[in-house]
Chains A and B, each alone.
Chain A
Amino acid sequence: MSRFNDSNVTLAKEIIGRFPRAKSAVIPLLHLAQEQDGYVTRDAMSHIAELVNVTTSEVYGTATFYEMFKFEPIGKYCVNVCTNIACQLVGGWELLEHAEEKLGIKAGSTTDDGLFTIEDVECIAACTEAPAIQVNYRYRYKVTAENLDQLIDDLRAGRLADEIPPHGTLARVRQNTTEAWANTGIEAQAKVDAG
């Protein structure tokens, strides 16, 4: 149950500062919370509500709309197997079943050791590379049962730690707000909002 740590509060404020209205930062801040804790904690949502000056209920309504946000801990590695049409045509479901057997869990659940979660997901924009999967939103293309076994073994052994950070981290490069930031939109909108 954690609120943002100090460095993330600083980051959060910087992110808020890039939008003409604070509430626009809700989704980026939810991602930041998920990056910090691996999932979105209740306290983080309260903290976000304070930071952008809305109610917790508003943050919660927004957060629960989006599938990527998890409200309880999930696996360190979230394995998303695409079963949508292009992947289904070339074995997406069979791949999902294989993953389920390999990890001993059903899609939508997490292994007891907390390492893996499997999800049955919609098209991930890799259709020409079907069947495609993502691990923590990093792609693997034209995946076979053997590839998948290898991948899981590598993840378990920590061999992919550099390439695939734990669940919650998306981009590892952040946009900076430098002196070159123009602030034109934000200032103009503030004028309009002041009426």
Chain B
Amino acid sequence: MSDVNDTEVQETPVVVKTTLSITVDGRAHEAEPGQLLIDACEDAGSYVPRFCYHPRMEPVGMCRQCLVEVEGPRGPMMVVSCMTPVAEGQVARTETPSVKRAQEGVLELLLANHPLDCPVCDKGGECPLQDQAFSHGPGESRFVEEKRHYEKPIPISDLVFLDRERCILCDRCTRFADEVAGDPLISFTQRGNNTQVNTFPDEPFASYFSGNTVQICPVGALTAKPYRFKARPWDLEQRESTCTTCSVGCRTVIQSSRDELLRYQGSDSDAVNWGWLCDKGRFNFENVNSEDRLEQPLMHDGSNLVPVAWSQASAAVAEALKTGKAAILGGARGTNEDAFAWARLADALGIEMRDPQLSDGLPAEVFGLPSASIEEAANATTIIVIAPDLKEELPVLYLRLRDAAEKRRSRILEFTAVSTGLTKYSWKSVPTEPGLQASVVRNTLGEAAVREQLGKGNVVVVVGRASLAESADHTVAALSAVLAEVPGAKVLPVVRRGNVRGAIAAGLGSNSNATEILTAAAAGKLDTLVLLGADPIADFPDTDLARRAISAVRNVISLDTFLTESTARASVVLPASAYGEKEGTTTNLEGRVTSVAQKVTARGTSRADWMVAVDIASRLNVDLGFDSVESIQRAMIATSVFAPMADGGANTREGVLIDQPATALPAVSATAGTHSSYDLRLVVSRRMYDKGASTAHSPSLVGLAQRNVLRVNSADLARIGVASGTSVRATSSKASVSVTVEADDSVGRGVAHLTFNAPGINAGDLIDVNASVNDIKVETL
């Protein structure tokens, strides 16, 4: 019982303190509960030196450089601040004589065996060890013994070298490999003073994320092949940007020297990539520097593509667009501004058929569903994955979801025909096959244990096209089945190319999809086909249709950075400026708009796509109302979808989220007949490294693309009576090819898997894009 009345309670509101009061070097500071002292000290203005601590990994307290004094019951105690949680009333000192003595001692010991070859070290100039040796260390080394000797840099993978003499054994690379990438292929080996980082003999550190270890190595022990000896840090200039290789949109820092891109580093965005990059995104800047880049417009003179002036090429394009029926394919590899300019041009010219995707993505309606951010997905109680192998296609999203499962925040429920990178982190990985997804989803969601799990909290569906050899309807049907069962679920749509969502938001989508456009072209119903950074012959699932379409269209106009099989048949080829060469914004799979930055001069005479649109418009006397990135952005902000950019949020590291107008999923009837026991149902998906331009024109990556093999479950192989490793004939309704077959039990029974756009046989030859599913017969030669 209390005699305090309600009014009195309201007059003295209880303030619940949510921070912890600590004192750092005599200054009062409010720290976050759960924070580590090292971070709290930094927030309070006292930076504590460190080598092993990395805020995105579990602290290990190994280097002992971050020692500070904390007031204890028996006087001041020396603690490692990277493993000491803050506590109410804590009093920490980071600069007492004993702290300084301890830090100097650690530094002297670290330097005892260090080669100090800074002048020839890639890290020299940006090396925490070098810096701290200057600011905290004692002068002359008193270590007169012979230093540790190891063979100088050894390759630990195709991309990374390790110099064990420089290594200070901080455990960052090894922790990253294990904790973050889930590829524990490098470990400490030996013991004590002989401890060294290494791989298992002759088994390389084959990880899609290996480049991160180079970035987080606090010394020059790990170096990346594409950057070794290329520049000194003090020669580098840098700008923050966004990787547009895939739709994750990792934040990066792009660095150049003398107008040449030299290195990309991950930038730590809480919302997106946590500082990590995949190796493709990190190293494929090499393609921007490639000798093979298009530098000048080209036009067909009847027999060859010959260089021409921009004025001549633009005039030809304007002429082509003015007359006859045109369509636009692509636009998802450029900036929002590029897409917006082309969409307005298309509006003005009445070009209705447009699609930024190549029938390998999702219907635009999916983007209008209640959408989840990466952060929401990675914190959902249940993550349902009906998508391609994220480790291969959206690598850093894979890291985020893997982390969610490993840290036990989320349970992953995966539906897939072929095991994926996430399979081993899944609570449940349900095998399915093309055509059956919706019914498998319905059955699974009906199971008691699954219902119970779904009832535990929020659900996010990560949805994308798992196979290029099946109709998108199956994916839509599976998604509908989930939403019918879990109406509150939010959707994270997975698309591959960097700016699909931006292109659609800008208006480069339409009621006609790529298949319809190419079918019309092949049937002679199109006069002009504009390819905005698109290469349908390599990228469209049905190679035959793409080839027929390209040959049937009179005017193929291509804007690209390289000559491709599709551009080779173009009447006009315009050199496009690449990532790092232009300014603007991009939109990732969540609908997050962030900036992309120009760091180097555009190659040759190449231009940004938007400039081309503006130029053509003016030749046709169309006033688009803009003529610069800024004016395009003003026009964008005036549209409802890009309105959230108004306050400049796109220029922050975390960017700003845009929303597509709400839509409902199209009703699809997606049933595929079961296949006969002689046939295998074809699954075609992509891998990280393929024949795509960004890998093919990056010398360090090109060798990483693996030759195509047909992967089949060993039981099916036994049934057909073929031995793993032999050549077989694979026949679909479209074509018959000979290919090496490999037994692989990560492929489900009844399914055969090929990689799209891989060196070797072309999977696209086997695919009929209009078929609901594609089956193949496998025979011995």
Report A's interface with B, CB cutoff 8 A.
42, 45, 54-61, 64-67, 195
Return chain A residues, CB-CB under 8 Å to B203. 56-57
Cross-chain contact A65 with B190 (CB below 8 angstroms): yes
Report the bound CA distance from A42 to B203 in whole Å. 11
B408 touches which of A45, A55, A57, A195 (Cβ 8 Å): A195
Distance in angstroms from B190 CB to nearest chain A CB is 5
In this assembly, does B191 line the interface, its C-beta being within 8 Å of a C-beta of chain A? yes
Report the bound CA distance from A111 to B190 in whole Å. 25
Report the bound CA distance from A67 to B187 in whole Å. 17
Q: Mark B635-647, 1 if CB is under 8 A from A, else 0.
A: 0000000000000
Report the bound CA distance from A55 to B200 in whole Å. 9
For B205, give the chain A residue with the smallest CB separation: A57
Cross-chain contact A64 with B191 (CB below 8 angstroms): yes
Return chain B residues, CB-CB under 8 Å to A65. 188-191
User: Apart from A55-B184, A60-B198, A64-B190, what are 20 other A-B pairs with CB-CB below 8 Å?
Assistant: A42-B201, A54-B184, A55-B183, A55-B185, A55-B200, A56-B200, A57-B184, A57-B185, A57-B199, A57-B200, A58-B184, A58-B187, A59-B200, A60-B201, A61-B187, A61-B188, A61-B189, A64-B189, A64-B191, A65-B190
> What band does the interface of chain B fall in when counting residues whose beta carbon is under 8 Å from A?
10 to 19
For B200, give the chain A residue with the smallest CB separation: A56
Distance in angstroms from B198 CB to nearest chain A CB is 8
B186, B198, B200 pick with most chain A CB within 10 angstroms: B200
Distance in angstroms from A39 CB to nearest chain B CB is 14
A57, A66, A195 pick with most chain B CB within 10 angstroms: A57
For B424, give the chain A residue with the smallest CB separation: A53
Return chain B residues, CB-CB under 8 Å to A56. 200, 203
Report the bound CA distance from A55 to B184 in whole Å. 7
Report the bound CA distance from A67 to B190 in whole Å. 9
Return chain B residues, CB-CB under 8 Å to A45. 200
A60 touches which of B183, B200, B408 (Cβ 8 Å): B200
Return chain B residues, CB-CB under 8 Å to A55. 183-185, 200
Return chain B residues, CB-CB under 8 Å to A61. 187-189
Return chain A residues, CB-CB under 8 Å to B185. 55, 57
Return chain B residues, CB-CB under 8 Å to A54. 184
Distance in angstroms from A102 CB to nearest chain B CB is 29
Report the bound CA distance from A24 to B201 in whole Å. 22
Report the bound CA distance from A66 to B191 in whole Å. 8
Return chain A residues, CB-CB under 8 Å to B189. 60-61, 64-65
In chain B, positions 339-392 with a C-beta closer than 8 Å to chain A are: none
Return chain B residues, CB-CB under 8 Å to A66. 191
Report the bound CA distance from A64 to B190 in whole Å. 5
Q: Mark B173-190, 1 if CB is under 8 A from A, else 0.
A: 000000000011111111
Report the bound CA distance from A54 to B182 in whole Å. 11
Q: Mark B188-210, 1 if CB is under 8 A from A, else 0.
A: 11110000001111010000000
Distance in angstroms from A1 CB to nearest chain B CB is 12
Report the bound CA distance from A10 to B186 in whole Å. 30
Report the bound CA distance from A57 to B199 in whole Å. 6
Return chain B residues, CB-CB under 8 Å to A42. 201
Return chain A residues, CB-CB under 8 Å to B198. 60
Distance in angstroms from B11 CB to nearest chain A CB is 47
Report the bound CA distance from A66 to B190 in whole Å. 8
Distance in angstroms from B202 CB to nearest chain A CB is 8
The list of the 7 closest CB pairs from A to B, nearest first, reads: A61-B187, A56-B200, A64-B189, A57-B200, A60-B200, A57-B187, A57-B185
For A58, give the chain B residue with the smallest CB separation: B184
Distance in angstroms from A35 CB to nearest chain B CB is 22
Enumerate 19 A-B pairs (CB-CB under 8 Å) in ascending A order.
A42-B201, A45-B200, A54-B184, A55-B184, A57-B184, A57-B187, A58-B184, A59-B200, A60-B189, A60-B200, A60-B201, A61-B187, A61-B189, A64-B189, A64-B190, A64-B191, A65-B188, A65-B190, A67-B191
